[in-house]
Structure 1
Amino acid sequence: MSPKEIIKDFHNSNIIKDLDLVEKFYHKDCELHWNSTKYFRILKYNDILEYYKSISDSYVSLRNEISVILVEDNFVTVRHTVYARTIENQDEEIPLVHYITIWEIKDGKLFRGYQISQLADDDAIEANSFSEIKV
């Protein structure tokens, strides 16, 4: 699979309901450098697995909507929004977070990531006006 196909496959997966997908998509030596609106942290493979375990208890489903993909060699930059259905309100899908992540793909897996996230604001959700771009 190409780096772009790996990222698209990852974002279309249901990783919170199938934690075996962490092993499928993440390199054992991966590192995710994550800047959120509240903190900065570096997550390694086991941290990422624990993260998905913890959020799987709160959400019925998560859906990623990709608005931009930029590809150069083994690096993929993706802008996406995560939408969720909570256990408390399974009938309504709500936008949770906007992300921009730069991934280095190694051995067909997510290896090194640099991510910025911001909580979603219902009023600021824009239509998917961007298209995929290959550099």
Structure 2
Amino acid sequence: MSSKKIILDFYKSDALINSDVMKEYIHPEIIVDWNNSEGFTQLNYDAIINLTDQLNKAYVRTKVRISHILSEDNIISVRYSHFVKTIENPREEMLLAHFMVIWELKDNKLFRGFQISQKP
């Protein structure tokens, strides 16, 4: 499977709110450097699983709309908007944030990420 296809499948899955699915896509040695509205955060495997579990408690549905995706070998850049439906209001889709991420894959899994996000 191509690197681009792995990333597309990842964002189409429920990995962002289902830690069992997330575990299928991330490398055990994953590191993500994330610059966001709150500052800088570095996430490892356990932190990503914990974040996924937190998102699962707040949201019943998540959807990623990719506007750009570029790939070269095992490096993929993705620009997307992340939409969610909350437990309190499952009928209304809400924009969570806009993201730009560069992924490096290793062993066909997400291994190294450099991510920037901005809230609407």
Q: TM-score, normalised by structure 2?
A: 0.96
Q: CA RMSD in A?
A: 0.9
Which of structures 1 and 2 has the bigger CA Rg?
1
User: What letter matches 1:42 in structure 2?
Assistant: Q
1:71-86 paired onto structure 2 within 5 Å: 71-86=71-86
Native 8 Å contact 1:15 1:22 kept in 2 = yes
How many percent identity over aligned positions? 41
Structure with more strand by fraction: 2
After TM superposition, where is structure 1 displaced by more than 4 Å over at least 4 residues in a row? none
Q: Distance in 2 between matches of 1:17 and 1:72?
A: 28
How far 1:18 sits from its partner (Å)? 3.1
Q: Distance in 1 between matches of 2:67 and 2:107?
A: 25
Native 8 Å contact 2:98 2:119 kept in 1 = yes
In the alignment, what sits opposite 1:37? 37
Partner SS state of residue 28, structure 2: strand
Native 8 Å contact 2:18 2:53 kept in 1 = no
User: What letter matches 2:56 in structure 1?
Assistant: S
Q: Distance in 2 between matches of 1:79 and 1:17?
A: 19
5+ residue gaps, structure 2, are: none
5+ residue gaps, structure 1, are: 121-135
User: What letter matches 2:42 in structure 1?
Assistant: I
In the alignment, what sits opposite 1:70? 70
Q: Distance in 2 between matches of 1:23 and 1:16?
A: 10
Matched, 1:91 2:91: yes
In the alignment, what sits opposite 1:18? 18
Q: Show CA shifts across 1:22-73 (max 9, x none).
A: 2110000000000001110110000000000011100011100000001111
Q: Distance in 2 between matches of 1:108 and 1:23?
A: 13
Q: TM-score, normalised by structure 1?
A: 0.86
- Paired residues in the alignment total 120
